[in-house]
Chain A
Amino acid sequence: MIKQPSLAHVLQPKWRTALQRLREERAKGGSGKLIILILVGGAFWAGVFGVLYLILRNLRKVEELGPLIPGKILGLILLSFISILVLSNVITALSSFFLAKDLDLLVSSPVDWLRLYLAKLGETLLHSSWMVALMVVPILAAYGIVYRGGVLFALYAILAIVPMLILPAVVGCAVTLVLVNIFPARRTRDLLSIIALGAAAGVILLFRVIRPEQLARPEGFRNLLDFLILLRGPTSPFLPSEWASQAIMGFLQNKPDALPLVLLWTTAAAFVTLGAVLHRALYAQGFTKAQEGAERFIRGGLWRWTVGSLLAWLPVAKREFVLKDIKLFFRDTTQWSQLILLAVLVVVYLFNIQALPLHRGEPVGFFYVNLVSFLNLGLAGFVLASIAARFIFPAVSLEGRQMWLLRSSPLDLRALLWSKYWVGTLPLLALGLLLTGMTNALLEVSTFMMVMSLATMAALTLAIAAMALAFGTLYPQFETENAAQIPTSFGGLVFMMATIALLAGVIVSLWQAVYTYVRAVYDGRPVVIDWWMFLWFAVAAALCTAATIVPLRMALRKMETFEF
């Protein structure tokens, strides 16, 4: 019998790599980075904690509903976390069990199946659950403080939450295992990204269409008794989120009940055992299938005749580069499938604008319409920044492994940057103008506001795209193969912060001009475009121009120093 390595030993390369990364960050002077991360994370935590604390404190004062609603809210939060965790574990398990680079070594070495399963389960759990685990902290802290749970509550909460994280990990790994045995791993990845995003998009759409804001209207409740009965019953008695919520609320309301905790831990243990049995039966076959490539013959002629013909006026290097980027995007399911989510978000955005009760009377309506139209610039700018972070920010990083080819060829780096910039900017510009134009049309704004909004949105889009490309170049992630992970890096965070600063600057500048216009119309005076308005329009234009040109220049300079 060969002595088996410990689980910690099997996972050694992973944690050693993580430690080494931390050391490298520190050596590179990562304290500034750490401070920014702590500040942003702290602000987010404080925000979540603050909102929930206020809600819970107010609810505690309500006689009948007070004790019921917090438990219900916690149950719903944990239920939504579990749904996210299952999806996230399914996708992560595919990488860690079937596509990871260390698998050849592990599978070919005499490590037994159980250790491999537990090590990879642990890795999957950690990768897919850390964000949810961090999110739970301020939420449970708010509960603990409002209900005065004390220090012991922290330990008790960990005891209730840990099995709730284990269960979706086991389920996610098992689902992936079965799927890989049915489809090749690469197909499964394509399939999963579409399913995951389709599901997320469906939930968002459903949530919006049922108009949850109507529930807040008192006239919406026809029968309070029915509502109370609904609240007293468990939402989903067979789900671990309900058990965790019962365990936590029982502790906080001084009605401790061991059953939910026992249920959580015994179910987790049973699931891990069942998962291991399934792994033993199916993993070897699945792993073999995962090595199969997705055989697909592609006739690229369509792209050449359509997009290629449209771009015929470009020099050949730029044209081929743009064509290449478009083909890569639409052939990678993990990339284009995100457009599904994007389309739904746009629909929801416009739906929200249409649902605003603005046109109820003059002249207040006029003021609010213009205010909403104006603030919409900031909101749409933020939406565009998020999209740019996802699609334009990773553009240079994704060239990483192929950079040998681009650097050894006579391709001018300016042409590379130009292609990346316009491939990202044009769709973003179309979306930005569509969002602004349609929103303003729904709001029935004046021609002045329409022209001003469209011009501002065009200038903002050019700047946002330039900043996304530049920050992606300044903080490249050449080793990351998954494009979706790149925007969540530190560089992505800095980009979002810089974009928010730009949006704030432009909006504050424009407000001076817009206020003069709104005031004049409100007072019934003729609108005169004077030097004051002109000055602030010029300031906003200068901000956008600088935010376009300076980052692109910086990106070009940085790109010239890239070494591989």
Chain B
Amino acid sequence: MIRLENLTKLYGSFVAVDDISLHVPRGVLYGCLGPNGAGKTTTLRMIAGILRPTQGRVLLGGDDIHVNPLAAKMRLGFIPDRPFVYDKLTGAEFLRFVAGLYGQEGDSVERRIAELLEVFELTSWKDELIEAYSHGMRQKLIISSALIHRPECIVVDEPMVGLDPKAARLLKDIFRQFVERGGTVLMSTHTLEVAEAMCDQIAIMQHGKIVAAGTVSDVRRQHQAGDASLEELFLKLTGGAQVRELAEVLGGRVA
């Protein structure tokens, strides 16, 4: 469903994403892990068609996002990490606007808006300007907007940031049901517990490259990690020694 082929992104001479290839099939919830600056957000933004790759291509359901962008984007719902939306629209107006961008209108859209606002407990806020929404409410609104056109795949950057525990649980359930019905989710996250509990497969990125990919068991096997937890595996692959040093420094300071 989502296929990345030799994807590379350069910012000047800095290599943000370095020749990565990845295949996320239908009905799979795929987690993209990695330390800060590993290239996760850049990769997701290339998949969403916001950034142009320096090399390589992104295919969504067989359509290249840059050769046939409109068809590819019709299949996609993108949820960014920073919830920038139009402050002077109300929640309902924003959702109606996004539905319009996907060519949808009419009673079915109105029903869908009501349904999504209800699910995310925003119904009582629907006629209020977004400028009055909290960070978490904006995030919920953006998630609703990504679902409004019933996409085939969802690309989501740090989905749990800003959400209260109830909304986080709701989102996990939504994603799980979405993939069970044949949808595809590719998400980046720092929260290893979330990745371990939710993802069918993971890819760990470091310095713009994928250093490990597959199911958690596959990754353990590939790196001879025995029955190590995902956290230990992550630290091993992304520089755990630095973390231990940091822990010592912090521990010394507190002591």
* A317 and B127 contacting across the interface, CB-CB below 8 Å: no
B170 contacts partner chain A, Cβ-Cβ < 8 Å: no
| Interface stretch of the complex, out of B85-93, B179-187, B217-225 | B85-93
Across the interface, do B103 and A327 meet the contact criterion of CB distance under 8 Å?
A: no
Q: A196 in the interface, Cβ–Cβ < 8 Å? A: no
Bound CA span A404–B98, Å: 12
Residue of A324, A403, A406 with most chain B CB atoms under a 10 A cut-off: A324
Q: Are B101 and A317 neighbours in the complex by a CB distance under 8 Å?
A: yes
Chain B residues with Cβ under 8 A from A409's Cβ? Answer: 73, 98, 101-102
Does B56 belong to the interface (CB within 8 Å)? no
Option from B45, B49, B128, B145 in Cβ contact (under 8 Å) with A298 = B128
Instruction: Out of A328, A408, A411, A564, name the residue touching B88 (CB < 8 Å).
Output: A328
| B74–A298 CB distance below 8 A | no
Query: When each residue 387-414 of chain A gets 1 if its CB lies under 8 Å from chain B and 0 otherwise, what string results?
Result: 0000000000000011111111111100
Choose the segment among B76-84, B188-196, B233-241 that binds chain A (4+ C-beta atoms closer than 8 Å): B76-84
Chain A: residues with Cβ within 8 Å of the partner, total of 36
* Overall SS of chain B's interface: mixed
> Is B67's beta carbon under 8 Å from chain A?
no
Contact (Cβ within 8 A) B84 A327: no
Contacts of A294 in B (CB 8 A): 129, 131-132
Known: A297-B127, A410-B69, A564-B51. A328 touches B89 (CB 8 A): yes
- Our pick among A321, A327, A561 for the contact of B93 (Cβ within 8 Å) is A327
Is the C-beta of A319 less than 8 angstroms from some C-beta in chain B? yes
B229: Cβ under 8 A from any A Cβ: no
Instruction: Report which of B52, B78, B86 forms a contact with A408, defined as CB distance below 8 A.
Output: B78
The reply to whether B127 and A299 contact each other, CB–CB distance below 8 Å, is: yes
C-alpha gap A319/B73 in the complex (Å): 19
A123 sits at the interface (CB 8 A): no
The answer to whether B78 touches A404, judged by C-beta atoms less than 8 angstroms apart, is yes
Say yes or no for B70: interface residue by CB 8 A criterion.
Answer: yes
- Given A319-B100, A410-B101, A411-B101: A296 in contact with B50 (beta carbons within 8 A): no
Provide the residues of chain A in CB contact with B128, threshold 8 Å.
295-298
List chain A positions with a Cβ less than 8 A from chain B: 186, 293-300, 315-317, 319-321, 323-324, 327-328, 331-332, 401-412, 561, 563-564
A/B interface sample: 16 pairs, CB < 8 A: A294-B132, A300-B89, A316-B100, A320-B96, A320-B99, A320-B100, A324-B86, A327-B88, A332-B88, A402-B84, A403-B50, A405-B145, A406-B101, A409-B98, A410-B69, A561-B52
Chain A to chain B: the 8 pairs with minimum beta-carbon distance, closest first: A320-B100, A401-B84, A408-B78, A408-B48, A410-B73, A293-B132, A409-B101, A331-B88
Binding site for A on B (CB under 8 A): 45, 48-52, 69-71, 73-74, 76, 78, 80, 84-86, 88-90, 92-93, 96-105, 127-129, 131-132, 145
